[in-house]
Amino acid sequence: MIIGIPKENKDTEARVAATVSCVRNFTEQGHTVLVEKNAGLQSGFTDEEYKNAGAQIVSHEEVWTKSQMIYKVKEPQECDYKYLREGLIIFAYLHLAANEKLFRELVEKKCIGIAFETVEKDGKLPLLKPMSEIAGRLALVVGGYYLANLKDGKGMLIDGVPGVKPANVVIIGTGTVGTAAAKVAVGMGARVTVIGRNTERLGQLIDIFGNSIETLYSNEYNIAEAVKSADLVISTVLITGALAPKLVTEEMVKSMGKGSVIVDVSIDQGGSIETTANHPTTHSNPVFEKYGVIHYAVANIPGSVPKTSTQALSNATSYYALKIANEGWREAIKGCEELKKGVNMAEGYVTFKALADEYKLPYTDALNI
């Protein structure tokens, strides 16, 4: 198979899908790998290293027009829609529930869209997990930065100092992102409240963190009360392949103190805060203010640490990318239920139920195409 690894062109996205060792695995098994010039530079990989691993260094257009599978990090941008064509495999983070235009382009062009974020094994999301861990940790870093007075925040230090209380950090969601955020928040000495619906998971977090956290069952009243007194709210809730539920309402945001900060890590899936919904931000323009509250809603948070993120992502996704290359997507999903769940559309059919429901289109099992 001819595998294309383009340079990411989403705003300030510095990751690349494949490390040098990943490319070597492809070429040693007989595949042709086309890497766009300077695609890995910000992640620490030079064109010369890719060439030594057997790749060809080509232009952006050549990557898209000559490849049978595009293996990338983030969803195709509008400038690349012209390259979409029947039979082209796109293996990447797609987040299509929050991007109707791309969804319809991929369906109409009869592409095979295989989304990292919907590959599911034993109820877990193995290709989302490494980026979720990074996003959760960074959420505290950026949240603390914007709490500082020089950025119109409250002028607070997350952990306070002796005689001065720490910041009140509220984390909504108990999955990978929420747990990573809680770990950093506790380590920094914040007052931490974690809100979730799974009481068993809340109990596990208490076992992990002890009295360093408080937990609340997720309902409208508890969220409203916690948000009202929060200095920093980190919302991490998502539903696999579907739009994130809007758990923090506009009225709740209005109740927060001036200079408080919201970090909406769910923004890739449409956001779980009413005031960030349909208002994603970028690394070059990361925040906006509404009702005196600073909102951080960057849709590719891990892109700010590309050396770490690229290696973690490639470690997680390369097994499946190689499986698709070796067997073709049809054979690859037979007997591999987790990869089958990653197929969002194929040859004009919608093959992921949540997307079919979201856009009111017929659902077709990928194995029946």
Is residue 268 part of the annotated active site? The answer reads yes
Tokens of 119: 């590959």
| CB distance 179 to 131 below 8 Å | no
Catalytic residue among 80, 264, 268, 295: 268
* CA nearest neighbour of 7 among 64, 47, 60: 60
* CA nearest neighbour of 323 among 307, 311, 339: 339
Measured in degrees and rounded to the nearest 5, phi and psi for residue 211 equal -80, 5
Is residue 295 part of the annotated active site? The answer reads no
Tokens of 57: 């260094």
| CB distance 111 to 47 below 8 Å | no
**How far apart, in whole angstroms, are the C-alpha atoms of residue 232 and residue 143?**
7
Pairing of strands 168-172, 191-196: parallel
What Å distances lie between residue 185 and 74, 172, 233, 249, 261, CA to CA? 28, 13, 11, 24, 14
| CB distance 27 to 33 below 8 Å | yes
Contact partners, residue 220, CB within 8 Å, separation at least 6: none
**How far apart, in whole angstroms, are the C-alpha atoms of residue 284 and residue 262?**
18
Which of helix, strand or coil describes residue 180?
A: helix
Which of helix, strand or coil describes residue 317?
A: helix
**How far apart, in whole angstroms, are the C-alpha atoms of residue 162 and residue 93?**
44
Catalytic residue among 95, 231, 264, 295: 95
Helices (H) and strands (E) in the chain, counts: 12, 15
Q: Which residues are catalytic?
A: 95, 268
